[in-house]
Amino acid sequence: MNGAILLTGAQYQTKSGWDAFSLNKNYAEAVRRCDALPLLAVDGKSADDYASMADGLILTGGADISPAMYGESELHRCTHVSPLRDEMELSLLRSFLSAKKPILGICRGLQLLNVFFGGTLWPHLSDNIGESHEQSVHAVSIVSDSILGDLFGSHALVNSYHHQGIRTLGSNLRPLAYSQANGKNTLVEAFIHEKRNILAVQWHPERMLDGANTPCMLPLFRWFVEQTSGDSLRPRE
């Protein structure tokens, strides 16, 4: 066993009125196939304990990041926001950063990390830049001399379920992949932090484990789990 990986999930209320948490089982399956133990976070107040117990953190996909978090007011363009999840994940993020443990962001997780480090988002891509990235498969251009380049080459087809996207990058975040917006490779689809143990992707690698229509993304999870064994994420020049 390679250790324990903490995963965040959706917070919702059941029909009976109970507060609950949920996680797409593909996330847990990806971690399990890397011979690591998947754990679900359910309490931001226990963030320090989680960071002490787990070896890495995966911020998963889900609800929109509230525009208020990055100085915008276009809440009507968001399909669903989750302030309680925002609060919990920010607490976990701070604790894992303090513990100097690796963090992987996926879709919403990438967006939360970008905002945390001072970046901004497009609230609704189809309105803001005339491109829709919802429910589609598209190509990304990958920085060749990077960990993603090592794993997947200079180009890859990825899935896409997001309607928000990176507008400006946060501090010390280095782009690793781009997709086209208005005919140019301008929309950041992945980044690494230059000083912290953080990597994030806009697509959903947990839904790309069989390699049927897109590259198998299990190597990304394996690489991340390997980093939790003691080696830090090494940003590539």
CATH number at residue 89: 3.40.50.880
What pLDDT, on a 0 to 100 scale, did the predictor assign at position 76? 55
The verdict on residue 234 lying in a domain is no
Alpha carbons 8 and 110: distance in angstroms, whole number: 13
The larger pLDDT score, comparing residue 106 to residue 21, is at 106
Number of structural domains (the chain) is 1
| Average pLDDT value for the chain | 88
pLDDT higher than 80, residue 167 = yes
Question: Active-site residue 194, yes or no?
Answer: no
Domain encompassing residue 24: 4-227
At 236 the pLDDT is: 47
Flag whether 71 is in a domain: yes
In a domain, 92, yes or no: yes
Catalytic site includes residue 78: no
Among 133, 189, 193, 206, the one annotated catalytic = 206
Confidence of residue 93 (pLDDT cuts 50, 70, 90): very high
Report whether 204 contacts 161 (CB < 8 A). yes
Is 232 a domain residue?
no
| 84 domain-assigned | yes
Q: Is residue 117 part of a domain?
A: yes
User: What was the pLDDT predicted at 150?
Assistant: 97
pLDDT of 183 above 70: no
Of all residues in the chain, the percent with pLDDT exceeding 70 is 86
Of the residues 34, 89, 107, 133, only one is catalytic, namely 107
Give the integer Cα–Cα distance in Å for 178 and 108: 17
| 216 carries an active-site annotation | no
Report the range of poorest mean pLDDT among 40-44, 52-56, 59-63, 129-133.
Answer: 129-133
**Cα(99)–Cα(48) distance, integer angstroms:** 8
Residue 63 lies in a domain: yes
d(Cα 28, Cα 40) in Å, to the nearest integer?
Answer: 9
Please pick, among 124, 133, 163, 204, the residue that the annotation labels catalytic: 204
Looking at the whole model, is its pTM more than 0.95?
Answer: no
**pLDDT reading at 205 higher than 80:** yes
Residue 235 lies in a domain: no
